[in-house]
Amino acid sequence: MHSFAIGRHTCPAFLVSLAAALLLWPTVALGADTPPAWVIPPTVQGDAVVGSTLTAFATFTGSPQPKIKSYQWRRCKATGASCAQIDGATADKYVVTSADLGFRLGVKITVKNPVDSISDWSVTSEIVVVASPPPTPTPNPTPAPSPAPSPKPDPTPDPTPASATSFTEPVAPIVDIKARATLLRPFPIVRIRGYFKRGGVRVTLLSVNAPSSAHVAARCVGSGCPVRSVRVASAPARLRAFERFLPAGTVLQVRVTSAGRIGKYASFVIRAHSAPLRHDLCLMPGKSKPAACPTR
């Protein structure tokens, strides 16, 4: 058997070489940095009513923890297309103005960490409307003074023969159809919210805000429908049956009606990598086919 000994003069050199080798040994990474990723993509919270405040919201992950870099609000046509950025609207909150009336609003959020940055546009809001005015209180009636007695006129002969029976034919009132077919008050608001997934959209909210007297009916068309139809006897309502993943091509149709009132119709065509294509119309009393809403 052969053996060797580290001599008195060689030991220090060996130790120095060993220390240098240890310093050059690659360190073990305790955790890898990751780029930002959406948990909840950008959404718009709040009512699309002139004078109200909308809030941009999103959640995200990444390492190091990403931070929000910027906001940008935009205004889109009622169809959801032809959008334009709103100058100066670069905060997390946006106050709806009269210039937004008839349009939809959306927001882009950009987040960043040292690895990368991501940005995305939200699903647009409902069509901006004017807030319903508060009801006018009924004034207390002023008691009318008692009329002074008037002198009796001289009797005049009755031209109607005694054998005839006199009556007054009631006149049918002239009814303005537009005046009778008034809008539901407050007019229903249908909201949809969610985020994109491969091949469709994950709906996280589908709700209807309407008077309690309104009836809500929703119908789903397409091979990816979780159920075909849902009915709710009164509003407000949340249509949870459709709050799940819906593949592209699925169509949701929501009807909000009340007897003798103009109701709401909203349809959503689910698309891949894009917000649902929305179409809003009115439901006239006694009619099943949606039509354009009256302008007055």
The pLDDT score that the predictor gives to residue 296 is 54
CA within 13 Å, CB half, 53: 5
Query: Using CB atoms within 10 A of its CB, is residue 46 exposed (0-12), middle (13-18) or buried (19+)?
Result: middle
> Distance between CA atoms of 58 and 65, rounded to whole angstroms?
14
Indicate the domain borders of the chain.
31-131, 178-296
The pLDDT score that the predictor gives to residue 172 is 38
The alpha helices in the chain, defined as continuous H runs, are 11-24, 177-180
pTM for the full model?
0.42
The pLDDT score that the predictor gives to residue 25 is 46
Phi and psi dihedrals of 121, rounded to 5?
A: -90, 145
The pLDDT score that the predictor gives to residue 13 is 53
Coil, helix or strand for 99? helix
The Cα-based distances of 268 to 50, 80, 165, 193, 287 in angstroms read 24, 11, 65, 11, 21
User: CATH assignment of 31-131, given 3.20.20.210, 2.60.40.350, 2.60.40.2700, 3.40.50.20?
Assistant: 2.60.40.2700
Phi and psi dihedrals of 9, rounded to 5?
A: -90, -25
pLDDT tens over the chain, length 296 residues: 444 444 444 455 545 454 554 454 444 445 689 999 999 999 999 999 999 999 999 999 999 999 999 999 999 998 878 899 999 999 999 999 999 999 999 999 999 999 999 999 998 999 999 887 666 666 666 666 666 666 555 555 445 444 444 434 444 333 344 444 688 888 899 999 999 888 999 999 999 999 988 999 999 999 889 999 999 887 889 999 999 999 999 999 999 998 888 999 999 999 988 889 998 999 998 888 998 887 65
The pLDDT score that the predictor gives to residue 244 is 93
Coil, helix or strand for 15? helix
